[in-house]
Amino acid sequence: MQESPVATLDPSAAQGPAASGLAPANLRDMGGLPVLGGVTRAGVLLRSDDVSVMPAAFARQMVDDGVRQVIDLRSPEEALLTGRGPLTVPGVNYHHLPLTASVAIPEDVSRTLMSASTTPEQVGTWYANLLETQARRLALGATLVAMGDGATVFHCAAGKDRTGVFAAVILSALGASPETISADYAVTATRLPRLYPRLRAILGQLMPDTLTDVAARQGAMMGAHAASMDAMQQTLVERHGSVLEPVRRAGLSDAVIGQLRSRLVDVRG
């Protein structure tokens, strides 16, 4: 794989009727992040918002650039609404590992969290609870990344909450610092102006009418504040001694962590 899809594709250049609002707004390569002993390898692991609705040419280029596995963290409700999308082609494996029972907004998130006054600490606590309750699926997802061929793209709807928790698990397994994990999460903040209109176009009636207003008021649940991921990590350390411990207990082995490092880390002397 010479270059990652993020390096070679510009979503704004996609053509066709679906191109203007539906090309991924939060797709990015996780390469180049500092981890224990080196940096994450480019072109092997990608995080994204919903990849099920994108221009066909965009999907073809992702496959040409080496994507061979999709890990879908959306709820069954969301997956049923839009399906797998144009990455459903021979040679690309699809794995559905729902981290929420229904669309994350609003059923699985209390109205308190949806408030404009929501704090990063409240969001971080919800993330910590999600990691604990879905530790088995997170362990399976990490195993799929470790054993996969080519590049893996993992996604939810926005590429922020469920995707952010999964990214934190992978980066924790690779020995990334808490600051690195939170900074990676916070990159989504720069994508929000394009991201929420795209979600509205995709999910339609599943999205609450108040979404745009809440986002505009920048409640922590609708933002992507590093402090929210800081709070998740701190909560898990206080409860379990580390971010990764619940996932380890759910089946993430040292052998799989070793495979993750072999696939995802460029060792630096």
pLDDT in tens, 63-72: 999 999 999 9
Q: Which residue has the tokens 């409240």?
A: 122
Is residue 149 scored above 80 in pLDDT?
yes
The average pLDDT across 130-155 equals 97
In a domain, 244, yes or no: yes
- Would you give the distance in Å from CA 146 to the centre of its chain? 16
In a domain, 7, yes or no: no
pLDDT digits (tens, 9 = 90+) for 209-238: 545 444 445 578 888 999 999 999 999 999
List the structure tokens of 175.
């020995």
In a domain, 227, yes or no: yes
| Beta carbons of 219 and 116 less than 8 angstroms apart | yes
In a domain, 247, yes or no: yes
The average pLDDT across 73-91 equals 93
Compute CA distances 18 → 48, 53, 159, whole Å.
Answer: 17, 8, 19
Number of domains in the chain: 1
More confident residue, 217 or 269: 269
H/E stretch holding 267: strand 265-267
pLDDT digits (tens, 9 = 90+) for 181-208: 999 999 999 999 888 888 888 877 556 5
Query: Please, what is the average pLDDT of the chain?
Result: 86
The boundaries of the domain holding residue 258 are 20-263
| Beta carbons of 252 and 140 less than 8 angstroms apart | no
In a domain, 129, yes or no: yes
**What are the backbone angles phi and psi of residue 93, rounded to the nearest 5°?**
-85, 140
The average pLDDT across 89-117 equals 75
In a domain, 11, yes or no: no
Q: Name the amino acid, one letter, at 114.
A: M
List the structure tokens of 36.
């224990």
In a domain, 245, yes or no: yes
The Cβ of residue 262 has, within 10 Å, a number of other Cβ atoms equal to 11
Q: What is the pLDDT of residue 9?
A: 53
Is residue 2 scored above 60 in pLDDT?
no
In a domain, 176, yes or no: yes
- Would you give the distance in Å from CA 47 to the centre of its chain? 5
pLDDT digits (tens, 9 = 90+) for 175-186: 999 999 999 999
pTM for the model: 0.89
What's the CATH code of the domain at 31? 3.90.190.10
CA 206-208-212 angle, to 5 degrees, is 125
SS3 34: strand
